Amino acid sequence: MDSAETYQQLCNYVRESALLHSAASVLEWEEQTYMPPAAGEYRSDQLSLLATMSHERATAPQVGEWLDTLADSDLATDPANPASAVVRELRRSYDRQTKLPLKLVAALARATSRGQQVWTEARKENDFAKFAPYLAEIIKLKREEADAVGYTGCRYDALLDDYEPHATAAEVGPVLKSLGESLVPIVAAISESSQKPNSEIFNRDYPIDMQTSFGQAVATQMGFDFRSGRLDVTAHPFCTTLGPHDVRLTTRFDTTDLRPGFFSILHEAGHGLYEQGLPSEDYGLPTGESVSLGIHESQSRMWEILVGLSRPFWNHFYPKLQDAFPQSLADTPLEEFYFAINESTPSLIRVEADEATYNLHILIRFELEVALLEGDLDVDALPAAWNEKYRKYLGIDPPNDAMGVMQDVHWSAGMLGYFPTYSLGNLYAAQFFAQAHEDLGDLDGQIARGEFAPLLDWLHTNIHQHGQRYPASELVQRITGRPLSSEALLKHLKDKFGELYRL
């Protein structure tokens, strides 16, 4: 059998695995949206069986044999051939999954399941000491995971790689650090500014029917195709893909504040546009999948923040928004609205943070999880270290651990190495957006006319259509001609908040 045939067999096999995996995604989506409450236990059993079957397929020795056969083939070694990226990424994923001893996988599943339960209780009771031994166990197991998976730089790289393939702490760390150092004085200046927006409009009446139809209309205008997708309501917004023409967005609505519902729709639609832009004929193969969590987040944050919180965007949409909610917004001029949605202030909770302060929350977590993993910080000393960094970077004192070190689910779920992808998303987004401005000429004008096709085409050409053809760092270099840097994001923040807060 020649390597073309082997490659075909491998691809057929992986596509069939995607059928099974996406079936599980339908069950997960339904669990979050419509499933009746008493059905949860059996749904877990269904998902557990499907996960086991998927894992067995993914780690089948046959896959390793196909990959070995292809390793030195022309097909896999010619970077000009997209098949080389398919083989590279399938190898990466196969190695990662087969290198983990089943015993460790089971121990991690137990520790993180229990960890999340205890975290929920401990957070409610504001009792970090209760959670500490479970977190310590999770960190011990994550170290073992990193050692089993292997790394060349530091242990942290092995975990980061699970969310941001091919990235390393050595590459990402300095960028996050330099971003943070520049943000601290900006955030402080905003805090001290005498300019304050009037956010009283976010305690008015916004009927949910109208929020839904307005949000859907905007997502449609951005280019999201509702023939191949839906919008539903869940406790926490998300985007998930159930098939090559099936992208599901969710949001949550607040009847007195349109921001949570609307900006979640923009954020998730940003993810959804990426998913809808991936080549559907390669669905299930690496060339039909997103590059990394960071690149994915760059798409959601670009639409939510760089487009959706911009003045040109509201030049176009604000009159329509006023028409949709005349009782709540007719008396508020555009400039007042624009300042109100862009209010910035140091705050305790990451998920509620504005774009100027957000990345400091991430830097704190990144520094702490690296220290925990490398053994430079004990779990018992974590709350003090957390509070110290909040004082230093954001100038605020967490009043307790529930609103401090225990606010996020990630560590209790074993997701160490995940947080940086949020900031990477913001960095990539700004760097791409600056390049799009250069390439498209009058991007602001297009947005102000409600024309989103040029930007979406640009994203499709430069990012979406390639799937995992290029790792994130290579993609950034290809598109912008330079490596990842904090420059574009800092320029954007300085310009925008400098003007708003008259810094």
Work out the number of other CB atoms within 10 angstroms of the CB of residue 400.
15
Closest to a copy of itself by CB, 22 or 347: 22
CB of 284 to a copy of itself, least distance (A): 10
CB of 221 to a copy of itself, least distance (A): 18
Contact assessment for residue 494 and residue 356, using Cβ atoms and an 8 Å cutoff: no
Question: For the chain, first and last CA: distance in Å?
Answer: 68
Contact residues for 502 (Cβ-Cβ < 8 A; gap 6+) = 193, 195
**Of the candidates 215, 223, 221, 228, the residue with the CA atom closest to the CA atom of residue 254:** 215
Contact pick of 5, 45, 72, 439 for a copy of itself (by CB under 8 A):
45
Q: Is 41 a catalytic residue?
A: no
The encoded tokens of residue 306 equal 């760089």
Distance CA 30, CA 328 (A): 34
Closest to a copy of itself by CB, 245 or 392: 245
| Residues within window 271-330 making contact with a copy of itself, judged by CB under 8 A | 283
Contact pick of 68, 200, 205, 225 for a copy of itself (by CB under 8 A):
225
Annotate each residue in 235-254 with x if it binds a copy of itself (CB under 8 A) or - if it does not, as one string.
-------xxxxx--------
For the chain, the maximum distance between any two Cα atoms, rounded to a whole number of angstroms, is 74
Contact flag: residue 208 with a copy of itself (CB under 8 A): no
Contact pick of 99, 204, 230, 311 for a copy of itself (by CB under 8 A):
230
Residue 38, φ and ψ in degrees, nearest 5: -75, -10
Stretch that binds a copy of itself, among 17-25, 310-318, 348-356, 489-497 (CB under 8 A): 17-25
Contact pick of 2, 4, 34, 499 for a copy of itself (by CB under 8 A):
34
Contact pick of 4, 12, 39, 478 for a copy of itself (by CB under 8 A):
39
- What is 24-75 written as a DSSP string? HHHHHHHHHHT--GGGHHHHHHHHHHHHHHHHHHHT-HHHHHHHHHHTTSHH
Map residue 468 onto helix, strand or coil.
Answer: coil
Contact flag: residue 51 with a copy of itself (CB under 8 A): no
Distance CA 143, CA 166 (A): 18
CB of 251 to a copy of itself, least distance (A): 16
Closest to a copy of itself by CB, 20 or 136: 20
Q: Which of 89, 268, 289, 304 is catalytic?
A: 268
Map residue 376 onto helix, strand or coil.
Answer: coil
Query: Is 145 labeled as ligand-binding?
Result: no
Contact flag: residue 50 with a copy of itself (CB under 8 A): yes
Query: Is 460 labeled as ligand-binding?
Result: no
Question: Would you list which residues are annotated within the binding site?
Answer: 267, 271, 297
Q: What residues are labeled active site?
A: 268
